[in-house]
Amino acid sequence: MRQARLEAGLSLAQLGKGHVTAPAIYLVETGRTRPSLPTLEHIARRTNKPVEFFLAEPGGGIDEATARVLELEALVCDSRHAEAIALGQSMLEAGPPAFRLGKIRFLLGQAYLAAGQSERATALIEDARAHFEAVNDAIMLAECLGVQASLATSAQAREAVSLAERALAICRKQRPVPAPTEARLLAVLAAALVANHDSERAVATYEAAIQIGRSSFDLSTTARLHAEIGMSFRKAGEAENAVRYLARSIGVLEALRERSALARAETNLAAVLMERHDFDAAREHLRRAEELSAESDLGAARGKVLLGQCELAMHEGDVERAQSLGLDALEAAEAMEDALTMAEAHVWLGRVADEREEHATADREFESAIRGFEALGKRERLLQSHGAYAEILERRGELARAYTHMKEALQASRPGLLREAQDEERASSA
């Protein structure tokens, strides 16, 4: 505490102003008493330090609680989402010290977000943000705002860009500016700009993220960032930019010989090429992805590759082959317990059944897909599935059911929108 006070250029009285007396500060600094958490948070704000700064273990030791937080962080970084959620929930239920709550909630929120449970993630990140604001931890506050910006981008919310810009501004006020955090937040801002159809600024922002991150990123992270850029442009319907960045990602991954990531990138690029009706190029990338995924340790990628081939077969009018590939994709996804690919497989099998005029089968497949996307919290895919099913029902002449699914698609695109409209209608009637 004395170190922080001197670094901030404050006297004892100035440090405690409005909250605690100078003699009390002196007793804490000399080790004769311990501060309460509110006092510690006040001192953290006055000295512009995170609360954790004052709670380091003597001699750099790590207690059991700190070790569990580090374990939680490692699980999140390693994408072991189910284990991270179980550990994080157990830590919260055990009633950890108040100063650890922010970090635990932030990490647990990230785990829920990666697991597709955005509602739980949203609440946890909001609580973590409030904690870091209270203790004046600027970097973690910026990280929380960055996650909230990503959530807003996924929900197509207007505030996504402003949240990302605020996070970046907070990060850049630090001295020195932490380059990895700045690069990560630039990527978040760029994704929000893509969703906002501000392509020119988005490209410039992505390039700035890569440039700043060159010194701290490894090649694997650079490849992942290029892939994220490409997929963001794909969602925004900007195929040319999507192809450019996905191709860059593949180039880096080929140098690294990361077969699993390379198979995914080849499949994603093939999907964009199919959207451009460049089926010959798509077929070549799917062939390369199939060669990579055929290896025994790449089962998770195989289901996605088979789905890509199923989609290509549908574009080419080969319904029989599409059905066979869709069933193979579903089987591969079930074997790997890959719930997202299972839901995607049900969508394509539903489309196949519609082409074959097997209406009952199409209904079952789309219902399975919709349940799957709902359980995963994949709002965008839920929207697309309701929309696709509504079009099929409309062609059949089942207009009432088609209308129901169009309403569900609208609700998926803007949660609460239908409720707001109904409230307005009731108010107008009154």
d(CA 235, CA 246): 13
Residues 6+ apart with CB under 8 A from 137: 44, 50, 51, 52, 102
Tokens coding 302: 């195989």
Render each residue's pLDDT in the chain as its tens digit; 430 residues.
888 887 777 778 888 887 888 778 877 887 777 787 778 888 888 887 777 777 655 444 456 777 788 888 888 877 788 888 999 999 888 877 777 888 899 999 998 888 777 788 899 999 999 888 887 888 899 999 999 998 888 777 888 999 999 999 999 998 888 888 888 899 899 888 888 888 788 888 888 887 887 666 667 777 777 887 888 788 777 788 888 888 888 888 877 777 777 888 888 899 889 988 899 999 999 988 888 877 645 556 788 889 999 999 999 999 999 999 999 999 988 888 888 899 999 999 999 999 999 999 999 999 999 999 888 777 778 888 999 999 999 999 999 988 888 887 776 555 444 444 444 444 555 5
Look at residue 240 and give its three-state secondary structure. Answer: helix
Residues 6+ apart with CB under 8 A from 23: 12
- Which amino acid does the sequence have at 235? K
Question: How many CB atoms lie under 10 A from the CB of residue 151?
Answer: 20
d(CA 104, CA 69): 7
Answer whether 156's CB lies under 8 Å from 66's CB: no
Q: Return left, alpha or beta for 174; rule: phi > 0 is left, psi -120 to 50 is alpha, else beta.
A: beta
Please identify which residue in the block is written with the tokens 């807003």: 152
d(CA 169, CA 16): 29
Tens digits of residue pLDDT in 105-133: 999 999 888 877 778 889 999 999 988 88
pTM here is 0.60
Task: Fill in the DSSP letter of residue 176.
Answer: S
Of residues 270, 192, 194, the one with CA closest to residue 236: 194
d(CA 163, CA 145): 6
d(CA 81, CA 304): 20
**DSSP of 332-396:** HHHHHT-HHHHHHHHHHHHHHHHHTT-HHHHHHHHHHHHHHHHHHT-HHHHHHHHHHHHHHHHHH
Residues 6+ apart with CB under 8 A from 228: 187, 191
Tokens coding 369: 């897909």
d(CA 286, CA 329): 14
Q: Cα dist. 394→358, 361, 418 in Å? A: 15, 17, 21
